[in-house]
Amino acid sequence: MNSDSLYQSPLSARYASKEMSSLFSDRHKYITWRKLWIALAEAEQSLGLAITDEQIRSMKAHLHELDLHLVAEYEKTLKHDVMAHLHAFGDLCPEAKGIIHLGATSCFVTDNTDLLQMKEGLKILHAKLIQAIRNLSSFAHDHASLACLSYTHFQAAQPTTVGKRACLWLQDLLMDLHDFEEKISSLRFLGAKGATGTQASFLALFNQDHGKVKQLDQLLAKAMGFERLIPVSGQTYTRKQDIRIFSVLSSFAATSHKIATDIRLLAHLKEMEEPFGEKQVGSSAMPYKRNPIRSERICGLARFLMSLNENPLYTAATQWLERSLDDSANRRMCIPEAFLTADAILSLLVHVTAGLVVHPTIIRKNLLEELPFMATENILMESVKKGKDRQALHESLRGHSMESARLMKEGSSGDLIERILGDASFDLTKDEIAELMKEEHFIGRASKQVEEFLHEEVQPLLKKYEHISSYNPLVFV
């Protein structure tokens, strides 16, 4: 049967990067199993077990000779995936067959490989997130003082700046980056704990030498790039680790959903757009459409990733005593899917933030339509300074505002300022009102906040990671 006749995950076939898809591929996983078997043999040899250099050399020589068809034939008979791979690897290096997997249980390769993949996956995401932060940092700097309407409840509110809004996005991404870093550094290796976590098999191999069994664990962790070990376990490492990792991924998904939603709303207002290709088609039916499809996809993928956050909670809650096998099939799916989804979101986020298009004319038009209403308090105070009756002026402003808003809803231009200028009770000139309506009077410290935030929070972080190469993802529609 042709491969195109079988279902493929859209994540690996369409959305996720080759780097992340390769990390969670069958080939990478099973080669990692073999690397763990080699590391185990080397550690056991160094601690005095009768394992020869020739046996280890043979395992290393055949490391990448992976015949998945042969493995499948073994599994048909054995009904056990790890044993099938043991037999297939043993066929390649018969001189080492008797010492491969010595003292270990299946979770030695399966659980430790999951941890290795998740740690590397977090590193991939971390590097891409740095690029998204770079992009938004430049964007925030360039638009630090560009005044725009802000929106609460998606209703016009006190103005802010485009750069300040981008800093709200940036701040959340910095939190996500910190969480990624914390998980990368704190993730613990299972090591070699045996069938129920007691290390009884290894204690027997080393003639009841507890010190050597502890050393074995430490040597394995170091060989596989981990600084810390799970101190106690059943057959598996505590699934609380998965909960913590998925929590970070889903939190990042929520950040991305928020950013993409904001961009979609601003695209509707025609104030900002995601990048749009010269020959890109927005709709198969409506040729004029410029739908924010990448931001929409971010939201769709983020929603899926957030939904996966429940999964490890159930898995951790249903670990019977030292372990139950019902988490195995589940984790084969949810761990790769979570990382591939996060990777796809980040590739899109980097692409979108690198090419955001701002329309200052529309931004100013939208701002000026609402600014007269926001200026009414300043106008009121200025007239009171001239000795006018505050309560009477307040009632006049209310009436003028309601009438001007009614006309705008009917399609006419706002005329609130003209109404105020025509009302002698305010005693204000056109120049005085123009001064009161200058945009800088309404954006508070927004521009300064951008400057301070970028200088104090963002630039030191980017300086720390300036060695990380720039990332320019290839994003397909």
Q: Is 253 exposed, middle or buried (0-12, 13-18, 19+ CB in 10 A)?
A: buried
**How far is Cα 133 from Cα 177, in angstroms, rounded to an integer?**
9
CB 353 within 8 A of CB 368: no
189 secondary structure, DSSP code:
B
**How far is Cα 25 from Cα 45, in angstroms, rounded to an integer?**
30
Residue 92: CB partners within 8 Å, gap ≥ 6? 62, 65
Q: Is 25 exposed, middle or buried (0-12, 13-18, 19+ CB in 10 A)?
A: middle
Nearest residue to 20 (alpha-carbon basis) of 141, 137, 121: 121
153 an active-site residue?
Answer: yes
283 an active-site residue?
Answer: yes
- The one-letter amino acid at 17: S
CB 74 within 8 A of CB 68: no
β partners of residue 160: 148
Read off the tokens for 295.
């931001």
**How far is Cα 134 from Cα 143, in angstroms, rounded to an integer?**
14
- Cα-to-chain-centroid distance, residue 266: 22
Q: List the catalytic residue out of 22, 283, 307, 412.
A: 283
Q: Is 63 exposed, middle or buried (0-12, 13-18, 19+ CB in 10 A)?
A: middle
Catalytic residues: 153, 283
